[in-house]
Amino acid sequence: MNRQRALFKYLASRLAIAPLMIWLISSLVFVLLRIAPGDPVDAILGNRANEVAREALRAKLGLDLPLIKQYLIFILNLLNGDLGKSLTTQEPVSEIILRSLPASIELSFCALVIAILIGIIVGFQGISNRNKRTDLIGRVYGISTYAIPPFWAAMIVQLIFAVTLGWLPIGGRFPPTLTEPNITGFLLIDSILNRDLISLQGAIRHILLPASTLGILLSGIFSRSLRLNLEQQLDSPFVEAARSRGISKSRIIVNHALPNALLPILTITGLTIASLVGGALLIEVTFSWPGIALNLQEAINQRDYTVVQGIVVVISSLMVLISLTVDMIIAYVDPRVRY
């Protein structure tokens, strides 16, 4: 079969499966939330409300309906693009997501850029100095970033840079004394669009610690996989042939080995983006970063069913979309991939 046709068929089948996956995930979340102990009515009224007040609120929130009816309403609303209203605040779930998703995406993007930069530098240094001290340090660094618990790393970073040195703010997303620009929800972009240098400074200062912490923790995956893949490529016959033709070491690495070594990195990047879209919970909690993971955690604590369902549906849809995009990019850049 023609490669392009095969790819199209593969993507079409993935797209066809996507709604099924989202339906399965949302149904599972719906059921699990109802099975879990705890009650949104308790979370809202406290456990001291009398039965009349509880029943009134239950009816108001639609929680008195049979479970199957609640489920059907949820699915029907979902099909209409309506994620419902928060049980605790009555705020539309879509607004909560729109408010918090840009924060998570902004943090994830900055962290990913930092991770890739550090990962490439450390990986390159390692492969350029194979089995030397620099390589050893790079490998230890890579393993350490896997091993360090994110919350611990975040707290140490806070302690050093915010508390002891006082260089950067300890948490939050924007200086409390300034008014947040509100155009796209991405504060870095909004500050630039507003041409407001002080806001931009504030936004950068606030994102620097969480993004660097997350970026450094993620960089180990990139440095290690880049080093391993480059090592494999450098030992392959086509590199040997290039060497025998007298091509310089740097040209061999950059022009011959790197493009092949980057393919697995692309997959890792895709998977990392997909997982980061759901927010980096521990980093968001430690730095009080008002992202989607933090909202999800709070909604779970409050048993706010609609918010949890809405966030999970959006995150899973984005994950499906991102993994599909990554597959497409890989298929485009790597002619060896078959479907």
Partner 1 sequence: MDSRKNDPREIKTKVDSYYKKKSYSYLLKLLTIFILSITQLSCSPVKKQNRIIIASAGKIDSLDPAQASTLRALQLISALGDPLYRIDYEGNLIPKLAKEKPKVFNNGLTIDIPLREGVLFHDGTIFNAKAMEFSLKRFMKIGTQSYVISDRIKDIETPSSYLLRIHLTKPSSSINGLLTSINLTPISPTAYANHKDVFLNKKFIGTGPYKLISFQPEKQRIEPFDSYWEKSPQNEGIDYINFINSSSLFGAIKSGEVDLLLSNSVEDGHRLALNRMSQQGKLLEGEGPAMEIGYITFKTNSEPLNNKLIRQALSYSLNRKLITKKVSFGLREPLRSIVPPILNKDNKNLWPEYNPQIARELLQSSGYCSKKKLEIPLTFRSNVPADKLLALIWQEQIKRDLSDCMILELNGVESTTVYKQLSEGVYSAVILDWTGAYPDAEAYLSPLLSCEEIIKDKCLSGEAVISGSFWGSHEVQQGLNQSEKNQGFNRLQDLKEVEQYALKGAAYLPVWLVKPRAWAQLNISKPEFDGSGLLLLDRIKKQVE
Which of 31, 143, 198, 333 touches partner 1 by CB under 8 A?
198
Establish if 196 lies at the interface with partner 1 (CB under 8 A).
no
Establish if 167 lies at the interface with partner 1 (CB under 8 A).
yes
Nearest distance, CB of residue 113 and partner 1, angstroms: 15
Nearer to partner 1, 157 or 277 (CB): 157
One symbol per residue from 295 to 324: x for binding partner 1 (CB under 8 A), - otherwise; what is it? ---x--xxx---------------------
CA distance 238 to 234: 8
Give the binding range for partner 1 (CB under 8 A) out of 106-114, 156-164, 216-224, 253-261: 156-164
Which of 11, 18, 21, 45 touches partner 1 by CB under 8 A?
45
Establish if 168 lies at the interface with partner 1 (CB under 8 A).
yes
Give the binding range for partner 1 (CB under 8 A) out of 49-57, 231-239, 256-264, 331-339: 49-57
Give the binding range for partner 1 (CB under 8 A) out of 18-26, 31-39, 67-75, 106-114: 31-39
Establish if 174 lies at the interface with partner 1 (CB under 8 A).
yes
Establish if 246 lies at the interface with partner 1 (CB under 8 A).
no
Establish if 248 lies at the interface with partner 1 (CB under 8 A).
no
Establish if 179 lies at the interface with partner 1 (CB under 8 A).
yes
The count of chain residues that interact with partner 1, using the rule CB under 8 A, is: 55
Nearest distance, CB of residue 252 and partner 1, angstroms: 15
Which of 304, 273, 271, 293 is closest to 101 using CA atoms?
293
The secondary structure of the chain, three-state, reads CCHHHHHHHHHHHHHHHHHHHHHHHHHHHHHHHHHCCCCHHHHHHCCCCCHHHHHHHHHHHCCCCCHHHHHHHHHHHHHCCCCCECCCCCCEHHHHHHHHHHHHHHHHHHHHHHHHHHHHHHHHHHHHCCCCHHHHHHHHHHHHHHHCCHHHHHHHHHHHHHHHCCCCCCCCCCCCCCCCCCCCCCHHHHHHHCCCHHHHHHHHHHHHHHHHHHHHHHHHHHHHHHHHHHHHHHCCHHHHHHHHCCCCHHHHHHHHHHHHHHHHHHHHHHHHHHHHHCCCHHHHHHCCCCCHHHHHHHHHHCCCHHHHHHHHHHHHHHHHHHHHHHHHHHHHHCCCCCC
Establish if 149 lies at the interface with partner 1 (CB under 8 A).
no
Establish if 39 lies at the interface with partner 1 (CB under 8 A).
yes
Residues that bind partner 1 (CB under 8 A): 37-39, 42-50, 52-53, 57, 88-91, 155, 158-159, 162-163, 166-180, 198, 201-202, 204-205, 208, 285-288, 290, 294, 298, 301-303
